[in-house]
Structure 1
Amino acid sequence: MIKKAIFGGTFDPIHNGHLHIAYEALYKLNLDKIIFMPSGNPPHKLNKNITEAFLRYEMVKTAIRNEDNFDVSDYEINRDNLSYTYQTLEHFTNLEKETKWYFITGVDCLMDIENWKNTEEILNLCTFVVFNRTGYSIESVLKKKISIEKKCNNKIVFLDIPLLEISSTNIRKHIKEGRKVSHLMPESVCYIIEQLGLYK
């Protein structure tokens, strides 16, 4: 059976930490492909200043252009309405019925998943995979994981992988301060940011 994962995120911008997580998931879960899914209009970030979806998509596209096991989808950014994870999963599971689907996201999303629309449907449509992030203890993550598993009768995979201390928030902050960020992301992404003057 083909095994594919959707890696959801704002990717504003994509950086080496995202690529590190994707590779760890690829090998640990024995996946055939990971599809990066830049969020379109996520309901939990409506009041935040997010870079135009097409630019975030282009940055992901150029970051993974030489990676055979990675792909990027514009499904969510092409939606006119709010982007809900359950709709994205419905679309892809219907598109490839024989594929085993995974959904990769950070533990912060696990902590908030009960506030997501159609939580149980999400967990029924895929194997939900979360990676650790700074600021969350493994004990609290595992406690929440067990709680959701019991409530929704579905298994959740926790990827306890070494973290690269890189975040999109800090990258945007560094750029605004005039600091170098070329060591934090692929060169092609840096080029787009510099050419368009993003995050200044």
Structure 2
Amino acid sequence: MKRKGILGGTFDPFHNGHMNIAYESLYRLKLDEIIFMPAGSPPHKSDKVITSPEIRYDMIKQSITGEEKFKVSRYEIDKKGYSYTYKTLEYINGVEKNTELFFITGVDCLMYIDEWKNPSKIFELSKVVVLNRPGYNKADIMKKKNEVESKYKHNIIFIDIPLLDISSTQIRKKVSKHEEIKYLVPKEVYAIIKNNKLYI
């Protein structure tokens, strides 16, 4: 049975922190593949201006060229309506036969998982993997992890790794202030941001 990680997000823009998470998850969980899943229309960001899905998809596609164990999916981009994680996992389970799925997310998502659409289904369809993020207390994380595990009767895999303190919000702000971001994003993403005059 193959082991595949699903790493979703808005990826606006895709950055080196995302690559770090993907590699660490690949190694720590002994995965065969990481599937990046850029959101098409995320319901929790319906009130925000988001870069076009095609550009965000292209950022990832160009950044992972040559990476044999990294793939990017168009599923959420091409589907109509909001992108719900449990629906995405249902779809992937339908097309990826004989595969164990690992849904990889940040601790910030763990903190409000009860607000997600059908969280119990997410646990049924995948092993949920939570990675730490800068600014969170480990004791608080463990407390929430235990509460969620008890409620949904499924274990959560917590990966405590040194993370790059990079966020898409930080990058967009830097671009708007004409500050350098070359050290924060893959060179392919840097070119796309410049060529499309994004975030200015």
Place the TM-score, normalised by the shorter chain, in its bin.
over 0.9
1:37-90 deviation per Cα after TM superposition (whole angstroms, max 9, x unaligned): 001111111001111111111101111112111000010011111100000000
Tell me the distance in 2 between the aligned counterparts of 1:79 and 1:162.
Answer: 35
Q: Percent identity?
A: 52
Query: Which residue pairs with 1:69 in the alignment?
Result: 69
Deviation at 1:136, TM superposition (A): 1.2
Match of 2:194 in 1: 194
Aligned-partner Cα distance in 2 for 1:123–1:66 = 32
Cα deviations across residues 79-132 of structure 1 (Å, max 9, x unaligned)?
111100000000011112310001111111111111111110100100011111
SS in 2 for 1:37: strand
Query: Shift of the alpha carbon at 1:139?
Result: 0.8
Structure 1 counterpart of 2:106: 106
**Structure 1 gap segments, 5+ residues each:** none
Q: Which amino acid aligns with 1:134?
A: P
Q: Distance in 2 between matches of 1:68 and 1:90?
A: 24
- Unaligned ranges ≥5, structure 2: none
Aligned residue in 1 for 2:158: 158
Tell me the SS of whatever aligns to 1:174: helix
| TM-score, reference length from structure 2 | 0.98
Is 1:119 the counterpart of 2:129? The answer is no
Q: What amino acid maps onto 2:156 in structure 1?
A: I
- 2:83 aligns with 83
Number of residues paired by the alignment?
Answer: 200
Q: Which amino acid aligns with 1:42?
A: P
Aligned to 2:129: 129
